[in-house]
Every structure is written in C-alpha cells, then in structure tokens.
Amino acid sequence: MKIKKFKAQTVKEALLLVKAELGPNAVILNSRRLKGPLLPAFGKDSYEVTAALDESAYAMPEQACADEGVATRPAKSVQAYAPRKVETAVAIAELDREKKEKVLPSGLSFEHFAPPAPPANTDGNFSVLRQDIDTMRGALTSLVTSLPDAADQRLGKGLRAIKKELEESEVHAAHIDEIITAIRQRSSDEDTGSISRMFREAQVMIEKGITVSGYSAAQKKGRALKIAMIGPTGVGKTTSIAKLASHFKLKEKLNIALVAADNYRIAAIEQIQTFAAIASIPVEIVFNEEEMERALKKFSGFDMIFIDTAGRSQRNAEHMSDLKRMMAAIHADEVHLVLSITTKQSDLREITRRYADASYDRILCTKLDETERFGPLYNLCRDTGMPLSYISTGQNVPDDIAAATSHALARLIIGGGDA
C-alpha cells in the first residue's frame, strides 16, 4: 500500500496531484483544510489530501493465452496493470467508467462515487474496496460541505464573518442580504477583508434599520395616558406592566392606576392584585367593555393607566374578535404587542400579522435572558415596520426592563450578546 499526502491551494489542485502521481485508481483516505496565517498578507488557507494506492492488487499480466485471445498491453501505461481478482477489476472499471479532466465540477453529485452492485461470487477483496469507496465518499462530502460557496468567497473575509454571525443570530436571510449589499456599496475590497471594520459597519447598518419608541411620557393635558398590553398567553404582559408601573411610580413620581381585563386566568388577577397592594397602586378588575369604560373614567385624573388584557391565541377567531372590541372601548394612547423573543420565528410572523386587527403601534420584547439569539429583534422591527418599545431581561420588578435603544439592540444582534 502506497500512502502519500498532497498539499495545494485548492481541493481541485490537490486531487489533480493525486491523479497525476498515483493514477485514477488511488483512494482518498482523508482531506482537511489547513488554516493560513491570521493576516492575509502572509498566506491563505490551503488543503491537504491523503491518498493511497494498493500496489499489491496490481501485477504485470501473465503471458497472454492464445486460446483465450487475450492481448498483452504495453508495460509503460498505468492501464497495463490488471487486477488479480476478476471481481475487483469489474468494480474498479465500473467506478472509473466516466473519467473527466475537471475535478469537482459544478453540480457534482456524490452518487457518482457510490459503489457498484457487487457481481456474483464476490469475495473479501470486494468488501475491502467497498469500504474504501465509502471512506472516500464520506471524506469528499465532508470537505465540500465545509467549503464556502462561490458567492461567499467573493464577499471577502470580513463580510463572510458578518454573514455567519447574522445567520447564527437568526436574522432572516433577506435582511442579511440587505445588510451585506448596503455594506458592500460603501466599502472597498480592502475594507471587506477586515473583520473588525466590517463588524463596525454591520452595527451601523443594523442600528439604522431598527426603530424604537423610547420611554412613555405622561401627558399633562388633564387626562391620563392609557397604555394597553396585548399578546399571546405566557409572554409576560402582567409582569411587564408591574415593572413599568413600578418604574413610573417610584422613579418618575407619577400617579399610576391599573386596570386588569385578564378574567380568563384566576392567577393573573391574583398576581396583579398582589402587586398593586404591595406598590400601593389602585387597580380595577373588569369583565367587559362597559366595565372597562367605567374604570378608565374613574382613573381619568391619574397620570398613567396601565391596562392588562387577556392572553389570546392568534388562531382563535372568536378570541381575536373579543380583543378587538375591548381595544375599541379602551381608545389607548399606546398599544404594546408583548412577544417573547424565544418564540419560534414562523409563529412570531403569524402573531404579528393576526394581531394587526388589534391596532398595536409598538412591540415589547420579553425573555431576552433566556436566549443567545437576538436576530428576531431585528426581524420584528423590519417585518412589521413597528418600533420596539421596551426589552425585558428577567423577572425582577422593576429592574429587569429598559427602554429599547437602537445602539444597544445592534450590539446584541451583531456583538455576541454584549449590550
């Protein structure tokens, strides 16, 4: 068995070296990508392919037998060697039936390397060959799938790093393309090769793509600012209201009132009543539109009224109709759609679409402490066109909530979660 390693700048060049030295019957044992220096000026990545040729399986042909009509081939050609076993010869001939000058052409299917069906009376030698072929197929598949495609290669090292970071952060592919295109338009080829420079550019582009609403401000026109929270069950509406009410009462010194319309969950009513008692904030529990209007009129002299609505499934038409009627009775100044950032991407798109009938005008995101993927923040803002109001990062009241800022969110999305 002859084993040798070949190094080249590309996989294609390495395989051509294998073919030139060991012939078309060589078996690929291993392949790997060799990292180049950190600085491009000192070299690029290269590839190492380990190949083998079983020389014992090939021998000079015996003298041709006249009665069999076998002709002797010239000894100089690699083709002059014939396998000792007929079965092995059939298998190799089948494998090598379509020789091509180009290695790894576009659209290559690894079905080309699948071992042929074993002929009758196969023996142990064919089993070994089949294992070698399987090894070669697996190695090439692993190598090719690990290589960036041609489009990515043209981006430059810095932009490739940005694209990978955004994909891992779960930014939608369409938004990634927008960001990459915008950066390329304002950067030179030299710039796109710098990872640090491209990360700064990406942060700028993401920051520009995110809109925020900032802290709510109590109106001083003789009436209360009405702030309603809507959204699916379990996303943290009641807890978010408790945090915001505490903030404006304790830090802004405003008069705060609460109205709870979540009469579908006993625990929700108890939760907000317990909080209101601790914080010395008045609260009204309502069960229909008429009671909502009376409660809002009762608290009209306060600075701010926070309204907690029942969690609704976006797929239940009756529930969504009830919510729409309740929102019509509230006439809210701000309607925050509360969403958990851990919710599946497809569900977030459906929720934002179906809750549009409730006329939300901003989005509050919760449970940022439960994930390391912050791309959905960017997706929500870009897909809905709505600003982000607050981000919640835990259960502590009132500390674990803050007004969203474009800069902080951009750092979360492209900065590895370090805001």
Q: What is the tens place of the pLDDT at every residue in 321-334?
A: 889 999 999 999 99
Residue 401 β-bridge partners: 392
pLDDT of residue 157: 83
Extents of the domains making up the chain:
2-146, 150-209, 225-414
Rounded distance, CA 391 to CA 301, Å? 29
pLDDT of residue 29: 77
Rounded distance, CA 43 to CA 312, Å? 58
pLDDT of residue 71: 41
- Determine if the pTM surpasses 0.75: no
Residues of the chain with pLDDT under 70: 36-43, 55-126, 141-154, 218-222, 263-268, 416-419
pLDDT of residue 367: 94
**Checking phi first, is residue 234 left (phi over 0); if not, alpha (psi -120 to 50) or beta?**
left
DSSP of 357-374: GGT--EEEEE-GGG-S--
Question: What is the CATH architecture of 225-414?
Answer: 3-Layer(aba) Sandwich (3.40)
E strands of 254-370, at which residues? 256-260, 283-285, 304-308, 334-340, 362-366
pLDDT of residue 100: 41
Nearest to residue 390, comparing CAs of 202, 226, 245? 245
pLDDT of residue 282: 95
Site of tokens 């079983």: 54
